[in-house]
Amino acid sequence: MRSLFNGLLLVIICLVGFTVYYMKDSSERTESVVKDETKVKDDVKKDKPKPEKEKAITISAAGDFTLGRDETYAYIGSLPDEAAKNGLPYFVEKFDDIFKKDDLTTVNLEGPLTNATQKAVKKFRFKGDPSYAQILTLGGIESVNLANNHSYDYLQKGFDDTIATLEQNKIGYFGYDHQYVTTVKGVKIGVLGYEGWDDTLETRAIVETNIKKLRDQGVQIVLVHFHWGDERHYVPNESQKSLAHFTIDSGADLVLGHHPHVLQGIEEYNGKFIVYSLGNFMFGGNKNPADKDTFVFQQTFHLKGDKLTDKKQINVVPFSISSVPHRNNYQSSLLKGPEAERVKNKIIDASNKINGSDWLKYEVQ
């Protein structure tokens, strides 16, 4: 009897031991399967590409900044006279911080900032005190074009002094052989500037080559400034139009023009914008020009990953070069109400003389 009992006890012990072993092994196998499945899911997550983030870069452009005067003419009522009486912040008080709210601003610097005295032999010769560079920084302007017909009014010394002054004030510059490249929000932007009086094979070759060089440097947005056209003409000439189209076809994302001293229209060409003339903006070259209308052109570029998208978004902002109508007080002013509407309609009319004003549909509302 005792023998039978011992046998049964041994069988029970074996069964319990087997059950415990099986359950442990099963638990370990289950845990192993769960770990394997989790690892697979983690690997899938790692391999799955992250959605590309979209970026928006807003760039502003304005026309001629002549921060000085022609010494041949009377000092009273000149830009330096206003600077001495009112201080430098006076000149940007009515900007409404437009250039501080964007990501990058480019303008045309029409005339050297220098104390040089030897002048070029020509009708009009402008220069401003080097301290006037602070007007640009006070206004939120990061970069200027130097490729124009007044940069060498005080010869090579005046030009070199201007570059040194801009560098001291941490203002970017471009034009002729100089290119301005900057990075904003991780996006590389390049700016070029030229005198574009004639659409020649030589000019085309230079423009095309330099745009390609910027692209080879990884530049994602390319802007090209041209100093061109006929003074006081509201419609661009054929040379402006053909050179602008070629520049877009060569890879530019936006073409900006100045020199006529009056505004010209805007054209959309192959999905890009051409602003033929931004007019004057802060113009020390004339104490009372008949046409004081101007504007700021803004474009917001949208990028997905490292590539520009086709999304178009612009803003055309009417300004006056003076805050008073009866003279030029050099206090460039944002326009509102009926005056803003009048200038806006003037830009639309000028555009309709080129290729229509369909660009209005891209404006920020």
Q: Looking at this protein, which amino acid is placed at residue 344?
A: K
In tens, the pLDDT along 79-103 reads 999 999 999 999 999 999 999 999 9
As a whole number, mean pLDDT of residues 164-173 equals 98
Question: How does the average pLDDT of the chain come out, rounded?
Answer: 91
- Contact 299/271 with Cβ under 8 angstroms? no
What local confidence, expressed as pLDDT, does residue 329 receive?
A: 98
In tens, the pLDDT along 12-47 reads 444 444 444 444 444 444 444 444 555 545 554 555
Which of 245, 238, 282 lies closest to 261, judged by CA?
282
Instruction: Provide the Cα torsion 204, 238, 230, 324; round to 10°.
Output: -110
Query: Has residue 11 got a pLDDT over 70?
Result: no
Which of 337, 242, 146, 186 lies closest to 255, judged by CA?
242
- Contact 239/197 with Cβ under 8 angstroms? yes
Query: Has residue 5 got a pLDDT over 90?
Result: no
- Other CB atoms within a 10 A radius of the CB of residue 349 amount to 12
As a whole number, mean pLDDT of residues 326-334 equals 98
**Residue with the larger pLDDT of the pair 156 and 50:** 156
Give the list of residues 6+ apart from residue 77 with CB closer than 8 angstroms, or none. Answer: 287, 327
Look up residue 211 and give its two tokens.
């745009």
Look up residue 355 and give its two tokens.
């290729």
**Residue with the larger pLDDT of the pair 246 and 364:** 246
Strands 293-304 and 314-320: antiparallel
Stretch (H or E) spanning 183: strand 180-184
Stretch (H or E) spanning 276: none
What local confidence, expressed as pLDDT, does residue 48 receive?
A: 62
pLDDT tier for residue 53 given thresholds of 50, 70 and 90: confident
- Other CB atoms within a 10 A radius of the CB of residue 24 amount to 10
**Residue with the larger pLDDT of the pair 19 and 336:** 336
As a whole number, mean pLDDT of residues 152-172 equals 98
Q: Give me the residue label for tokens 């520049």.
A: 247
As a whole number, mean pLDDT of residues 61-70 equals 98
For residue 206, give Cα distances in angstroms to 243, 250, 258. 12, 11, 19
What local confidence, expressed as pLDDT, does residue 365 receive?
A: 72
What local confidence, expressed as pLDDT, does residue 50 receive?
A: 66
